[in-house]
Structure 1
Amino acid sequence: MKKGSLISVLAVLSLILLAAQPGYAISCSQVSSALAPCISYLIGRGGNNPSPACCSGVKSVKGMARTPEDKRASCSCVKAAANRYPGMKDAVAQSLPDKCGVRLDIPVSRTVDCSKYVYLPFFLMFK
């Protein structure tokens, strides 16, 4: 193989590897959009159970948060969103993942310390 061809192949492979690296894929707008269907339930106006759209959003947030950094970002976004709704019922918010049949690695809370969710052992992050 010629030297120029080898360099081209290596450059393309490098770009592919860089594109495939997981990054900070979560934004607060994504988290807020996913959890928007849950607001009426969380403030006590949505009945006794979250809607299917709400549970779909909870599952979506779980799917977005794959790395420790993503989990911390997701936690911060959830905390910020919770603080925007003073009428949110804490007990209802904390039970939301269970009601949706989803195990989140972050609590839905106004007071959570999101920094402690980054340093969980790797095997606990994806239960």
Structure 2
Amino acid sequence: MAAKLSLVVCVAVLCSMVVVAPHAEAAMTCGKVASSLGSCLTYLKGTGPLIGGCCNGVKGLVAAAKTTADRQTACGCLKSMATSISGLKPNLASSLPGKCGVKVGYPISTSTDCSKVH
């Protein structure tokens, strides 16, 4: 009887781990993307210089996007933000990672297929 109870407990624990694991997988959020890039807005609209705070945000965002799920989420957030920001200059957005000395591994563009980002 004790062996059956132990088996039931083990199965219950494993099932709960499977249910909880996917929720912990993607740590990236659109809020994190927006807050990381907030100081870049004037530069991205062409109305201000590229400041250190912007590059720090870009570098922090790239460092935080550790998994494929994180990078895909960040990509989707960037695309969504790009369409909602009036006056955004696409050429400045696409060149921002390079100007800040980081590589993101996919083009920063509203035409990027985020499902193909790895």
TM-score by length of 2: 0.76
Letter of the 1:102 partner, please give it: V
Aligned-partner Cα distance in 1 for 2:69–2:61: 14
Superposition CA RMSD, Å: 2.2
User: What are structure 2's unaligned runs of at least 5 residues?
Assistant: 1-12
Q: Is it true that 1:27 corresponds to 2:37 in the alignment?
A: no
Preserved contact between residue 75 and residue 107 of structure 1 (Cα < 8 Å): no
Q: Which runs of 5+ in 1 are unaligned?
A: 1-10, 119-127
User: 1:45 aligns to what?
Assistant: 47
TM value normalised by structure 1 = 0.71
Q: Deviations over 1:50-100 (max 9, x none)?
A: 210000010011011111111101100111111111311111111101110
Counterpart of 1:67?
67
* Bigger radius of gyration among the two: 2
How far is 1:25 from its partner?
A: 0.5
Query: 1:115 maps to what in 2?
Result: 115
Segments of 4+ moved more than 6 angstroms: none
How many residue pairs end up in the alignment?
102
Residue 81, structure 1, aligned to residue 81, structure 2: yes
What residue in structure 2 maps to residue 8 of structure 1?
Answer: none
Matched residues, percent identical? 39
